[in-house]
Chain A
Amino acid sequence: MRKIVILFLSIFILVQSTKAYGTELIGAGATFPYPFLSQVFNIYHRETGTRVNYQAIGSGGGVNQIINRTVDFAGTDAYLTETQLQQAEKNVLHIPIILGAVVVSYNLPENPQLNLTGEILADIYLGNITRWDDDRIKELNPDQSLPALPILAAYRSDGSGTTFIFSDYLCKVSSEWEKEVGKGTSLRWQTGLGGRGNPGVAGLLTEIPGTIGYLERNYANQSNLPVASLKNKAGHFVAPTTHSISQAAEVDLPPHNRVSITNSEAKEAYPICGFTWIIVYEEQKYGRRTPERAQTLAQLLEWLIKHAQEYAVSLDYSPLPPSARENALNLIYSMTYDGKTLIEGTPNHNP
């Protein structure tokens, strides 16, 4: 009996102590930026005392929650569709937070360093190229010995932002892909096998010889999987690095930032990159929100852009290039509460 009382007391105290720390912001959404966000939110809590509770329930879930107005912000790797924008009713902002990339990995004898193009990737996933010793692959890799193995295309069976970025890229480089498959977080795959999550795809990759698969860059790096260099729009073969991914955002970005940066025109850019966005409402007065809460949210977002970017690299993410930071800050400074601007600022003076 006494034990139970003590247990309840300690739970009570724990709950109370979390309440005592001022506002707690709630966010939900993409799993992709979760390792980054959970680390920087911890640092933010140490520095300012503001707790941020981010639940990695998936982009789709996060978007649903922001549409239902149950969270302060949502994280997503796929920008909102027209239907979703209509469902949200009020204007939402897409604030870019960091850059991620999708890498192409494979399991071949001795794992040579391969060069591939988007057209070849599309044809592999469409089932048009079925063998590793296909002439088109050989032509790009004259120095490598390619085995006479059938190609097995591995994809994400769960709906995911990674699939969205990958298929968005394939749509841009292959008209057949755009016509037959299209882009989305879940697709109607023509061939191959589905693995659940990054670990599922990585499992197929390591277990079955001849497999090709796409993964988040951080996962592939941490598992030491071989990754292909891809031909970008400028015609160079580029490996996915922090630099080449940041470069992908060095293009003219529209002010609303609801934009895909796959197949980027920048000369040194890796072609399959994407922003991870935090989605918030432009007008923060909705439901029972207090002005303090809105203010805290805007400050957090400003801090993410100005001071948290340095933490991205050590976690295998890529920081936003200066132009994208400016873009993000402009969006944050346009947030209002009851028509009044939350943070006054000009991004140009605070780069």
Chain B
Amino acid sequence: MIQDKIFNKTLLIIATLFLLLILGIFITLIIFSLPSWQEFGLSFLWQTEWNPVRNEFGALPFIVGTLLTSFIALFLCAPFSLSLSFFLGEYCKKGVFFQTLKGGIELLAGIPSIIYGFWGFFVLVPQIRRFQLYLIDLRMRTETGSIQEKLLEALEIVPYGVGILAAALILSIMIIPFAASLGQEVISMVPQDLKEAAYSLGATRFEVIKKVIFPHARSGILAGIFLALGRALGETMAVTMVIGNRNILTWNILNPANTMASLIANEFPEASDPIHLASIIQVGLWLFIVTFIINLCGKLIIHKMNYKE
């Protein structure tokens, strides 16, 4: 009896401590960013100027950069991670090929982000630059006044290679393993008798996936995708290496930009002016809040999507 009580209490204390830790981090961020709150108020969120020399700070370019790169990465990663989860969870559940593929995914998840950054910078970025040069060439060749020409003109392409697109591509590769392995777990956990019942009614394999497995596993699959999104939002090193680090607001995915995490990593070590430092910490606070909100939305969607008997 007494043992049980002690055990229960210990678990409760540790769980509460963990909650306090999160709250503590949140409060620390607020306290250390106070000077910047006093200076800019809420306008910090929509100001687009980031000028450490004149002490003018606004976070919008970085919020946009973070959301653009993460969501593009999410859309790019979804088809691949879904296919992988269905393939490994349903079609190829054991054997050498399964082990190799599964091991490969785990390896991909374990590669340090700086390696992705290097690969992106030396392999992916030159390819994107070639694509941009091709687009510029195309603009030269299309007849003046045509819609294609105006469209290409509007993109204002400069062949940098680095930019939002490069960052999103790298991120999508980095987050595929997270979404895929969780998806595979939940798909392989769909009860065998449910599937067998469907087969015995004459359903084809595709119908079983569509009508039995997917409804059963969709909330888990979504949870995996949101886990992946969370990782994309906070990724720093790989993004910094390929995004171009330009602190100016842009919506064009071929342009260089910057994300919240990358800005913090870049400017924090040398920031000594109190307002500059507080503004960087406030960017950190908003990264925290954005991640929290997106996770909350994820929870709501997963709850809505939950399979009801």
* A residues in contact (CB < 8 Å) with B: 57-61, 63-64, 81, 83-84, 150, 152, 157-161, 181-189, 192-196, 200, 203-204, 207-208
B184 at the interface (CB under 8 A from A): no
- Taking a contact as CB atoms under 8 Å apart, the answer to whether B245 and A188 are in contact is no
- Taking a contact as CB atoms under 8 Å apart, the answer to whether A160 and B50 are in contact is no
Contacts of A192 on B, CB cut-off 8 Å?
246
B269 at the interface (CB under 8 A from A): yes
- Of the candidates A150, A152, A158, the one whose C-beta lies within 8 Å of that of B269 is A158
20 CB < 8 A contacts A-B: A83-B274, A150-B158, A158-B265, A158-B270, A159-B270, A160-B270, A161-B270, A182-B53, A183-B53, A186-B52, A187-B51, A188-B50, A188-B52, A188-B53, A188-B247, A189-B247, A193-B162, A193-B256, A204-B162, A208-B129
- If A181-B53, A203-B121, A207-B121 touch, whether A186 touches B161 (CB-CB below 8 Å) is no
**For the complex, what is the distance from the CA of A215 to the CA of B269, rounded to whole Å?**
19
- Taking a contact as CB atoms under 8 Å apart, the answer to whether B129 and A157 are in contact is no
- Of the candidates B50, B240, B266, the one whose C-beta lies within 8 Å of that of A159 is B266
- Taking a contact as CB atoms under 8 Å apart, the answer to whether A200 and B272 are in contact is no
Chain B positions 243-262 with a Cβ under 8 Å from a chain A Cβ: 244-247, 256, 258
Instruction: Name the CB-closest residue of B to A152.
Output: B160
- Taking a contact as CB atoms under 8 Å apart, the answer to whether A81 and B273 are in contact is yes
B267 at the interface (CB under 8 A from A): yes
Instruction: Name the CB-closest residue of A to B269.
Output: A58
**For the complex, what is the distance from the CA of A58 to the CA of B277, rounded to whole Å?**
14
Instruction: Name the CB-closest residue of B to A58.
Output: B269
Write out, one digit per residue, whether chain B residues 150-173 have a CB within 8 A of any chain A CB (1) or not (0): 000000001011100000000000
Contacts of B161 on A, CB cut-off 8 Å?
207-208
**For the complex, what is the distance from the CA of A208 to the CA of B245, rounded to whole Å?**
16
Pick the 8 closest A-B CB pairs, nearest first.
A159-B270, A194-B245, A157-B245, A188-B51, A60-B270, A182-B53, A58-B269, A60-B272
**For the complex, what is the distance from the CA of A64 to the CA of B272, rounded to whole Å?**
7
Write out, one digit per residue, whether chain B residues 12-52 have a CB within 8 A of any chain A CB (1) or not (0): 00000000000000000000000000000000000001111
- Taking a contact as CB atoms under 8 Å apart, the answer to whether A188 and B54 are in contact is yes
Contacts of A193 on B, CB cut-off 8 Å?
160, 162, 244-246, 256
B126 at the interface (CB under 8 A from A): yes
- Taking a contact as CB atoms under 8 Å apart, the answer to whether B269 and A60 are in contact is yes
**For the complex, what is the distance from the CA of A192 to the CA of B51, rounded to whole Å?**
16
- Taking a contact as CB atoms under 8 Å apart, the answer to whether A196 and B270 are in contact is no
Contacts of B160 on A, CB cut-off 8 Å?
152, 193, 208
- Taking a contact as CB atoms under 8 Å apart, the answer to whether A187 and B266 are in contact is no
Instruction: Name the CB-closest residue of B to A31.
Output: B269
- Taking a contact as CB atoms under 8 Å apart, the answer to whether A182 and B272 are in contact is no
- If A150-B158, A181-B53, A188-B54 touch, whether A159 touches B271 (CB-CB below 8 Å) is yes
- Taking a contact as CB atoms under 8 Å apart, the answer to whether A189 and B246 are in contact is yes
**For the complex, what is the distance from the CA of A161 to the CA of B245, rounded to whole Å?**
18
**For the complex, what is the distance from the CA of A193 to the CA of B125, rounded to whole Å?**
13
**For the complex, what is the distance from the CA of A195 to the CA of B243, rounded to whole Å?**
9
**For the complex, what is the distance from the CA of A130 to the CA of B273, rounded to whole Å?**
33
Write out, one digit per residue, whether chain B residues 261-300 have a CB within 8 A of any chain A CB (1) or not (0): 0000111011111101000000000000000000000000
B281 to chain A, nearest CB (A): 13
- Taking a contact as CB atoms under 8 Å apart, the answer to whether B269 and A61 are in contact is yes
B286 to chain A, nearest CB (A): 19
- Dominant secondary structure at the B interface: loop
Chain B positions 230-247 with a Cβ under 8 Å from a chain A Cβ: 240-241, 244-247
Contacts of B241 on A, CB cut-off 8 Å?
196, 200
Instruction: Name the CB-closest residue of B to A87.
Output: B274
Contacts of A61 on B, CB cut-off 8 Å?
269-270
- If A61-B270, A83-B273 touch, whether A184 touches B240 (CB-CB below 8 Å) is no
B122 to chain A, nearest CB (A): 7
B248 to chain A, nearest CB (A): 8
- Taking a contact as CB atoms under 8 Å apart, the answer to whether A184 and B53 are in contact is yes
**For the complex, what is the distance from the CA of A125 to the CA of B79, rounded to whole Å?**
42
- Of the candidates A60, A81, A207, the one whose C-beta lies within 8 Å of that of B126 is A207
**For the complex, what is the distance from the CA of A338 to the CA of B300, rounded to whole Å?**
65
- Of the candidates A161, A196, A204, the one whose C-beta lies within 8 Å of that of B266 is A196
- Taking a contact as CB atoms under 8 Å apart, the answer to whether A184 and B52 are in contact is yes
- Taking a contact as CB atoms under 8 Å apart, the answer to whether B267 and A195 are in contact is no
**For the complex, what is the distance from the CA of A157 to the CA of B49, rounded to whole Å?**
16
- Taking a contact as CB atoms under 8 Å apart, the answer to whether A157 and B240 are in contact is yes
**For the complex, what is the distance from the CA of A182 to the CA of B51, rounded to whole Å?**
10
Contacts of A186 on B, CB cut-off 8 Å?
52-53, 266-267, 270-271, 276
A288 to chain B, nearest CB (A): 25
Contacts of B269 on A, CB cut-off 8 Å?
57-58, 60-61, 158-159
**For the complex, what is the distance from the CA of A196 to the CA of B49, rounded to whole Å?**
21
- Of the candidates A150, A159, A194, A204, the one whose C-beta lies within 8 Å of that of B246 is A194
Instruction: Name the CB-closest residue of A to B262.
Output: A157
Contacts of A63 on B, CB cut-off 8 Å?
272
**For the complex, what is the distance from the CA of A3 to the CA of B158, rounded to whole Å?**
60
- Taking a contact as CB atoms under 8 Å apart, the answer to whether A158 and B266 are in contact is yes
> What 15 additional pairs, Cβ within 8 angstroms, besides A157-B258, A194-B245?
A58-B270, A60-B270, A61-B270, A64-B272, A152-B160, A157-B266, A159-B52, A182-B53, A182-B54, A186-B266, A188-B54, A194-B256, A194-B266, A204-B162, A207-B122
Contacts of A187 on B, CB cut-off 8 Å?
51-53
Contacts of A182 on B, CB cut-off 8 Å?
53-54
**For the complex, what is the distance from the CA of A150 to the CA of B53, rounded to whole Å?**
28
Instruction: Name the CB-closest residue of B to A64.
Output: B272
Instruction: Name the CB-closest residue of A to B129.
Output: A208
Most buried by B among A81, A186, A207: A186
Chain B positions 44-92 with a Cβ under 8 Å from a chain A Cβ: 49-54
B250 to chain A, nearest CB (A): 13
Contacts of A81 on B, CB cut-off 8 Å?
272-273
Instruction: Name the CB-closest residue of A to B240.
Output: A196
